[in-house]
Structure 1
């Protein structure tokens, strides 16, 4: 590989990381934005939650129905298309003056994210020299997503504190997105050539065929369970940690405990981001299935402890899950995609992304419904989330014991990455 090509691939990798960071700035700020939207438009919790749900529905629809675009038309063109749609939706927030219009923009942004994210995930396969490097790069991308998840809420808090509207977060994201789109247009991406036999077969029907594939379904179900548990933390943990019948943290005995409760979500995101940078190293040195099995076990224990011990224990164990959750999703995503040939990576990435977004939308919704059935107590919702984490652990344990993907990954390593 020439020095020019090496520099080009490094730039492409950094562009991919920045794309993940950019859309995380908006997606993971939704909790802070919802508080402002409720007041601004005088809506209830269910209506306000559509800010989160419709974004995820948009990603899910895009992943399932449009994931094949990256395989059919190429990574670069699809990335630029998705970034363009996202930038447009961000700029249109400047003229949005009704809640329904904002929901439409949220949905458009979700659809656009699904388009460029599936292409970016497919691109990671193109620039990786092995399935192990693929997993490391995926952890890097998700690490920058974690950074965006920290930056976004801080920007919203700063805007609100200084009397500026929260929509400027989207304008800022739109500007960054436009810059990334221009850079993506100028950079020379690796040549993408489909095998001749597949030239006319990249379509939505290929996504549906994955419903019968054990590798695609296994990793997609794992992604659903993980994201349902993860979203439980940043959507419902602030409610669970509130004192009974109040909207404050006055019941905690110390100022440090109150501070921890107030900033619990930020602490969770910070630990998750830190863990993903560590995960880049871990996945190069340890058995990925063992790491996922051990970490999913610790997550389940943290959830159980937070329920049995109440909010005083959850105050510590729930944010702590961030460090252990950090490597699970990017590794699930990477290994799921790596079970397939590179010319299928866009379709497979979209398929897994569909279940990812479905978990993020359905998990918190089911938790809310169950909590309302028991008088609005969020503890009952977290029992549902604990079931998700327990099933995930059982799946990761079975994956570690029986290693069903070993032969498939070795086959792909040899045929797609040139390993001996």
Structure 2
């Protein structure tokens, strides 16, 4: 199979970093329970990784092709390997924030590499969209892995037992490092350019109407998804009254629904125009928020530790992932396909930058709103970015049609 080594490398990269990055929801809850921090302070764990991603991604988008994608990946794994071991031995809220900063730095390199290399693997527009959806579904499976593995290390008798998960992750990272080191990436060489030229390239791209729309889309979408994903375990414990382990385990429903949604969308997008499909998904997500969240009001305050006692909303609300799932990879693919391949790395850098800023903003806002309006109302605010996304999709569709006409 063509490019099989490269495809496997992309899948493994995304899987491992998905587990590291998106354990933030578990660590937000854990930081409140173990280190005694407030919701507001715990909400800053997302910016610890996302703002690091944003800063690194803005510069790495143009520099990475000349430095080498493979070298970048290997350095990324060394950094997170050290971060995991530091977390195991140091054990503090500061160390948690430091680990996410290390993970954010590394993921900026990984994401730009992966998005650029997809252009090498996929030769047609439809193949690009399909592969993008599949690789994003692999990302969600990595998150599912995190939400299953972390609760397994919780212990009522040993409060530090959960830290052992970082030894497991360090071992997994070491294995992946070896695989990447011996994988062959058959990539064309880049013509060297100066840092000033690289920054100018990013700036010129931001002058394009399609890229501006793309920036707004990335910010709004990740703000919505990250806000829900990072705070769902806290919502499950503090609003639905599940115990800590069950609160994290129930969040797996959201991750699985996103993984399934992205995998299925890889096939659906070949049959239905992306604009009709994604607009329908956004409307369905908004309707789920409107009709499901009232189920969170007025619940009896009890300590729920078994599945049969979990309120209905604990199963229904996470299904929003089915509708959010296709949006991110398909729009990313649409924009990348409408941009010259020589600019794919720079566009991936811009995408990663605005996604990271949106993720940081969403988590901090939800953390603040959790304290102000309460957990039973906090996710209603997702309706604002969902509405904006519907409008942005309309203009992206309109702009890409013009681009196609001009290309013809």
TM-score normalised by the chain length of structure 1: 0.83
CA distance in 1, matches of 2:82, 2:205: 32
> SS where residue 188 of structure 1 aligns?
coil
Shift of 1:132: 1.7
Cα contact 2:24–2:230 (8 A) shared by 1? no
Trace 1:118-129 onto structure 2 (pairs within 5 A): 118-129=112-123
Cα contact 2:151–2:249 (8 A) shared by 1? no
Q: Could you say if the C-alpha distance between residues 186 and 262 of structure 1 is closer, same or farther in structure 2, counting changes exceeding 3 Å?
A: closer
In the alignment, is residue 408 of structure 1 matched against residue 403 of structure 2? yes
Equivalent residue for 1:271?
257
Q: Could you say if the C-alpha distance between residues 101 and 229 of structure 1 is closer, same or farther in structure 2, counting changes exceeding 3 Å?
A: closer
CA distance in 2, matches of 1:370, 1:157: 26
Larger CA deviation: 56-65 vs 166-175:
166-175
Shift of 1:264: 4.3
Count of paired positions: 391
Q: Could you say if the C-alpha distance between residues 131 and 171 of structure 1 is closer, same or farther in structure 2, counting changes exceeding 3 Å?
A: farther
Shift of 1:262: 7.8
Trace 1:8-407 onto structure 2 (pairs within 5 A): 9-161=3-155, 163=158, 165-194=161-190, 196=191, 199-200=193-194, 203-240=198-235, 248=241, 264-307=250-293, 311=297, 314-315=313-314, 317-373=316-372, 376-400=373-397, 402=398, 404-407=399-402
Q: Could you say if the C-alpha distance between residues 33 and 66 of structure 1 is closer, same or farther in structure 2, counting changes exceeding 3 Å?
A: same
Deviations 1:20-46 (A, max 9, x none): 111111222222233333343333323
CA distance in 1, matches of 2:91, 2:202: 37
Q: Name stretches of at least 5 consecutive residues in structure 1 with no aligned partner.
A: 251-258, 415-420
CA distance in 1, matches of 2:42, 2:279: 36
Shift of 1:310: 5.2
Cα contact 2:14–2:139 (8 A) shared by 1? yes
CA distance in 1, matches of 2:169, 2:248: 26
CA RMSD between the two structures? 2.9
Q: Could you say if the C-alpha distance between residues 343 and 181 of structure 1 is closer, same or farther in structure 2, counting changes exceeding 3 Å?
A: farther
> SS where residue 191 of structure 1 aligns?
coil
CA distance in 1, matches of 2:371, 2:40: 12
Q: Could you say if the C-alpha distance between residues 343 and 398 of structure 1 is closer, same or farther in structure 2, counting changes exceeding 3 Å?
A: closer
CA distance in 2, matches of 1:216, 1:323: 26
> SS where residue 377 of structure 1 aligns?
coil
Cα contact 1:238–1:265 (8 A) shared by 2? yes
CA distance in 2, matches of 1:334, 1:156: 32
Q: Could you say if the C-alpha distance between residues 264 and 179 of structure 1 is closer, same or farther in structure 2, counting changes exceeding 3 Å?
A: closer
Q: Could you say if the C-alpha distance between residues 391 and 309 of structure 1 is closer, same or farther in structure 2, counting changes exceeding 3 Å?
A: farther
Larger CA deviation: 86-95 vs 15-24:
86-95
> SS where residue 354 of structure 1 aligns?
helix
CA distance in 1, matches of 2:61, 2:313: 38
CA distance in 1, matches of 2:13, 2:206: 29
Cα contact 1:216–1:352 (8 A) shared by 2? no
Q: Name stretches of at least 5 consecutive residues in structure 2 with no aligned partner.
A: 298-310
Cα contact 1:71–1:345 (8 A) shared by 2? no
Cα contact 1:271–1:320 (8 A) shared by 2? yes
CA distance in 1, matches of 2:113, 2:314: 38
Shift of 1:334: 1.8
Cα contact 2:213–2:396 (8 A) shared by 1? no
TM-score normalised by the chain length of structure 2: 0.85
Cα contact 1:71–1:344 (8 A) shared by 2? no
CA distance in 2, matches of 1:209, 1:39: 47
Cα contact 1:225–1:392 (8 A) shared by 2? yes
